[in-house]
Amino acid sequence: MLLRHGETEWSRDGRHTGLTDIPLTARGEGQARALAPLVGDRRFGTVLVSPAQRAARTAELAGFTEYDTDADLWEWDYGGYEGVTTRQIRVNRPGWYLWRDGVIPGDADHPGESAADVGERADKVIARARACDGTVALVAHGHFLRVLAARWLGLPPTDGRLLRLDTGTYSALGFEHANPVILHWNSPVPGR
């Protein structure tokens, strides 16, 4: 099971939120609580959560009482585009598209990553999840989870562009005849 964290002020405003650690909004906390019926009494062999407070809080409000943090689940490092909207970027780079054009280097805390860099981290998470017994839950971020799903399917990291992922949603990856597939994607919580 994949859970994207609930809304933050920056996700609401369309600002690229990579390594900046900001909290959920009240709406984001509500989105996280709405995920609780999906977690419910299900048994998970492993629960891995991004170290970001927005992911950890989502995990807790969704009902995970025990989990491990995994730094490989951090969101894409947007470098010099951290905190900036696509509209603002396009003022100086008309037609800019993250999946095609990437990011510019930022400061020491936000050096930036390529899609391939994010894909390498996603591959590590997939390897860790496949080595676990039982169902695995991952609580993380939009662009990262899109890359992870592409890599799960054996696609290049940039094919994550094909998979929109909203805040506070769940997705599921699995198998059909031993082949990796997407079982659910960007699913809203019923009744929300």
Whether residue 5 lies in the annotated active site: yes
Q: Given the residues 9, 60, 66, 75, select the one marked as catalytic.
A: 75
Concatenated DSSP letters for 53-122?
A: HHHHHHHHHHT--S-EE-GGGSPP--GGGTT-BHHHHHHHSTT--HHHH------TT-----HHHHHHHH
- Residues in the chain, overall count: 192
Q: Given the residues 5, 16, 110, 143, select the one marked as catalytic.
A: 5
- Give me 35's structure tokens: 């995920």
d(CA 52, CA 22): 8
Whether residue 75 lies in the annotated active site: yes
Catalytic residues: 5, 75
